[in-house]
Chains A and B, each alone.
Chain A
Amino acid sequence: METVKVTINDIEVEVNANSTILEAAKMVDIQIPTLCYLNLEGFDIANQTASCRVCVVEVEGRPALVPSCAEIVTDGMVVRTDSPKAIAARRTNVELLLSNHPKECLTCSKNLECELQELAQRLGVMEISYEGERMLHEIDHSSLSLVKDPEKCIMCRRCETMCNEVQTCGILSAVSRGFAAHVGPAFHLNMVDTSCTFCGQCVAVCPTGALTEVNNVRSVVAALNDPTKHVVAQVAPAIRVAIGEMFDMDPGTISTGQLATSLRRLGFDGVFDTDFAADLTILEEASELVHRLENNGRLPILTSCCPAWVRFIEHQFPDLLDIPSTCKSPQMMFGAIAKTYYAKKVGLDPKDIVVVSIMPCLAKKTEAAREEMDIDHMHNVDLVLTTREFGAMLKEAGTNFAHLPVGEFDSILGESTGAAVIFGTTGGVIEAAVRTAYEWITGDELENVEFKQLRGLEGIRSATVEIGDKSLNIGIAHGLGNARKLLEEIREGKSNYHAIEIMACPGGCIGGGGQPYHHGDMEILRKRQEAIYREDAGMKVRKSHKNQEVLKLYEEFLGEPYGDRAHKLLHTHYSPKERI
């Protein structure tokens, strides 16, 4: 590759000819502050609008300052990133942003996680010299998943890049002009009235408090303090490899045992694991796969664990609603079992049971209220907290999470296998399904359970798995733009897959919209993924159909997998929705 020589703050460096000044500076450990810029390395996701002008630097021979995030280096270029002129301009630009920003940092849900706040501190903004009119907008509280507060928007367009280029949902766009300009949906619609999937990737990358999750912490605390309620918790697989980050533990630290203990100390009456329901999901989904294979059913089968993905297909591909598996997601299966089987076992009226989910996800909040999943007009799941909300709840309670003793999940909805843990990352659901389908179809014991060809972080992956005399073509996509490509192949009749796993978020649930903020550091996601596979490898039982509590559930209550009662409680249906 062609290289050029540039001088940055008197340091000479040789870099690829297509590098930006920002990238070149990074090579010699010179930090240039950025705000709108976002580059999720390895995921092919970049926001390079150069709209905030926070990264400006001086280039010799150029009369005006240039944005280093977008300016490509040239041979012999001489750059100063630390000149008084550049530093003053950055501070001015941040002051200008702040002059049109509600300065309510103390009560903002993004307090201490806000990149604008951090920048103001770093650039030594002590006063805002520009007073004047401030743009006023209504806060959008319409959905159960996310809150949009355009007054805190700085027009960095990161959310727009995520929504349009990565997720291809096209909900968010810059609208109006001049002072009234902001990012929002078509026709100023409420988010709930759009085809938003509530994947929450816009929230994951928003530098300020303009996009945040709907906070349910108060409601959960109230339920825990209501003596008439029996409150049970379930924890999704991806939480155990991420929540530690909120307590200064290294990314990729596994804290399953601390999670169980922390929930018990908060006063939950039942401390359970969504992994239990993930194993249950595999029994249903693998049964459905085998059923479709043996009965010339519709192929490929698509996984249905991810509620953002489910909304995506309903709004964007309403003609393909017969291909996703009819299985509810593990979160919803858990709720359905908690309010039937478990309620009976502990002798409680299901109306007195409150099911709380800890999820890496914003879409799970909306999924919990899907009426077609209700049982006797009762939601399966009552309250959903993101990893971040749960972490905040623990901090509020003064929990020293990193030092908690290791605890266990409660029986009878707490046992899980390695197959369930890997649901937390892209490729995991389908690998878990293959482990079970293999043994069911061949009748042989599967010795090596690790299907490495299904693993990784590439956006679209495919592999052929030999199961006895059958070859199963498997596709995997994470990120909805990648999912769209596979769906278009199916629509055009060009797809030869038997089964496809789709997750809306880049990386799968480890990269969910409700996870601790990664602030653009994709190394964190890689470490979470490694931790997921490490946790799986350390489990004694690694196949879902060997989960004894799940088997007991079938024996005592559900009957056959994919049978009548399972259908009533564990399966659902989809309906076409408008695209807007």
Chain B
Amino acid sequence: MERSKLAKVKLPKEKLVELDAFIDSLEDKEGLLIHILHKAQEIFGYLSLEVQLYISKRLDIPAAKVFGVVSFYSYFTQEPRGKHTISMCMGTACFVKGSEQILETFCNELGVKSGETSKDGLFTIKDVRCIGACGLAPVAMIDDKVYGHLTVESVKEILDEYRKEEQNENQHSESVI
């Protein structure tokens, strides 16, 4: 990757202040890299190159080490997430009940691969391990809401609900203006 091809994002000042305050509140800063990355993702929504570089300089640890940790754990994301996150369970029970086909349906409907964000910015889809709702297999979570006994048909209906909701919100905000 060429340096010039990496996206440049300006970090909002108030969010940096929040991150700084968090880092300052910790005693052993170096040992708490993962902790700090969690917080940073919570604040910024995702861990951009700039956020990683900032943390690397703040903690005086190499950027490669920070990136090593970020790229290791699937919880961390380096891309902006969609408004809603779909977590498709690929645990054993769901897998046996055909979760692979459900995931494929989600992906086809959204025109993305697992781990990516739809063009309209509405959904990010990812496959996860067992979420502990095996009785409802195959199951997915959209944000904090659980959807069980999924079928190819119900996937489309669920997505349409969210899209409709988004449309209504947009119309509402336009009429307010």
For residue B52, give the distance in angstroms from its CB to the closest CB of chain A.
7
Picked from A170, A174, A193, A580, the residue with its CB within 8 Å of the CB of B53 is A580
Given contacts A175-B68, A176-B72, A187-B67, contact A164 B1 (CB under 8 A): no
For residue B29, give the distance in angstroms from its CB to the closest CB of chain A.
16
User: Which residues in chain B, 36-53, are within 8 Å of chain A measured between CB atoms?
Assistant: 49, 52-53
In the bound complex, how far is the Cα of B3 from the Cα of A580, in angstroms? 10
In the bound complex, how far is the Cα of B53 from the Cα of A170, in angstroms? 13
B67 adjacent to A170 (CB under 8 Å): no
Tell me which residues across on chain A come within 8 A of B61, comparing CB atoms.
Answer: 170
In the bound complex, how far is the Cα of B56 from the Cα of A172, in angstroms? 14
Tell me which residues across on chain A come within 8 A of B63, comparing CB atoms.
Answer: 170, 186-187, 579-580
Picked from B3, B56, B66, B74, the residue with its CB within 8 Å of the CB of A189 is B3
B68 adjacent to A170 (CB under 8 Å): no
Tell me which residues across on chain B come within 8 A of A164, comparing CB atoms.
Answer: 62, 65
Given contacts A177-B72, A187-B49, A580-B53, contact A171 B64 (CB under 8 A): yes
A176 adjacent to B71 (CB under 8 Å): yes
Tell me which residues across on chain B come within 8 A of A176, comparing CB atoms.
Answer: 71-72
When each residue 162-193 of chain A gets 1 if its CB lies under 8 Å from chain B and 0 otherwise, what string results?
Answer: 00100001111111110000001111111001
Which of the listed residues A170, A176, A187, A190 has the most CB atoms from chain B within 10 Å of its own CB?
A187
In the bound complex, how far is the Cα of B67 from the Cα of A139, in angstroms? 20
Confirm or deny: B161 has a beta carbon within 8 angstroms of a beta carbon on chain A: no
Residue of chain B at shortest CB distance from A177 = B72
When each residue 87-118 of chain B gets 1 if its CB lies under 8 Å from chain A and 0 otherwise, what string results?
Answer: 00000000000000000000000000000000
Picked from A170, A174, A190, A579, the residue with its CB within 8 Å of the CB of B1 is A190
Tell me which residues across on chain B come within 8 A of A171, comparing CB atoms.
Answer: 62, 64
Interface size of B in residues (CB-CB distance below 8 Å):
21
In the bound complex, how far is the Cα of B67 from the Cα of A384, in angstroms? 33
A188 adjacent to B62 (CB under 8 Å): no
A175 adjacent to B71 (CB under 8 Å): yes
Residue of chain A at shortest CB distance from B78 = A187
In the bound complex, how far is the Cα of B63 from the Cα of A172, in angstroms? 10
Residue of chain B at shortest CB distance from A193 = B3
Which of the listed residues A170, A184, A186 has the most CB atoms from chain B within 10 Å of its own CB?
A186
Tell me which residues across on chain A come within 8 A of B153, comparing CB atoms.
Answer: none
Confirm or deny: B2 has a beta carbon within 8 angstroms of a beta carbon on chain A: yes
Residue of chain A at shortest CB distance from B74 = A177
Tell me which residues across on chain B come within 8 A of A185, comparing CB atoms.
Answer: 64
Residue of chain B at shortest CB distance from A142 = B2
User: Which residues in chain B, 55-82, are within 8 Å of chain A measured between CB atoms?
Assistant: 56-57, 61-68, 71-74
Residue of chain B at shortest CB distance from A174 = B68
Residue of chain B at shortest CB distance from A580 = B63
Confirm or deny: B21 has a beta carbon within 8 angstroms of a beta carbon on chain A: no
Confirm or deny: B9 has a beta carbon within 8 angstroms of a beta carbon on chain A: no
For residue A38, give the distance in angstroms from its CB to the closest CB of chain B.
20
Given contacts A176-B72, A177-B71, A580-B53, contact A190 B64 (CB under 8 A): no
A-B contact pairs, 14 of them (CB 8 A): A164-B62, A169-B62, A172-B64, A173-B62, A173-B64, A174-B68, A175-B67, A175-B72, A176-B71, A177-B71, A177-B72, A186-B64, A187-B6, A187-B63
Q: Which residues of B contact A (CB under 8 A)?
A: 1-3, 6, 49, 52-53, 56-57, 61-68, 71-74
Q: Which residues of A contact B (CB under 8 A)?
A: 164, 169-177, 184-190, 193-194, 579-580
Q: Which 8 A-B pairs have the closest CB atoms?
A: A170-B62, A193-B3, A173-B64, A186-B63, A173-B68, A186-B67, A186-B64, A188-B1
Given A171-B62, A187-B1, 14 further pairs, Cβ under 8 A? A164-B65, A172-B64, A173-B62, A173-B68, A174-B72, A186-B56, A186-B64, A186-B67, A187-B6, A187-B63, A187-B67, A189-B2, A189-B3, A579-B57
